[in-house]
Amino acid sequence: MGGCRTELRVNHAVLWHGGALIDLNDAISDPSWVLFDAVAINAAGQIVGTGMHDGQARAFILTLR
């Protein structure tokens, strides 16, 4: 869990799972969000971090299915 810089020099929130790096932006279906950093995960699998929603800095909580 954390962040990884893309080829466009933008930080994306990522998760290491099952031997693979997952870009959390690919795990959501809302193009109005860009997730920058994943900072914590709880026992239920909910991930919190920071991002941008419609041009404004925001915190997020993400529950993966």
Beta strand 56-63 with 46-53 is antiparallel
pLDDT at 36: 93
Angle at 30 between CA 24 and CA 31, to 5 degrees: 90
Residue 48 and residue 39 in contact, taking contact as beta carbons nearer than 8 Å: yes
**Total of domains in the chain:** 1
Residue 2 has pLDDT above 60, yes or no: no
Range of the domain at 34: 2-63
pLDDT at 10: 72
Residue 1 has pLDDT above 60, yes or no: no
Q: In angstroms, rounded to a whole number, what is the distance separating the alpha carbons of residues 58 and 31?
A: 15
* pLDDT tens string 5-62: 666 667 889 888 899 988 999 989 899 999 999 999 999 999 999 999 999 999 999 9
User: Which residue did the predictor score with more confidence, 31 or 3?
Assistant: 31
Structure tokens, 14: 């990522």
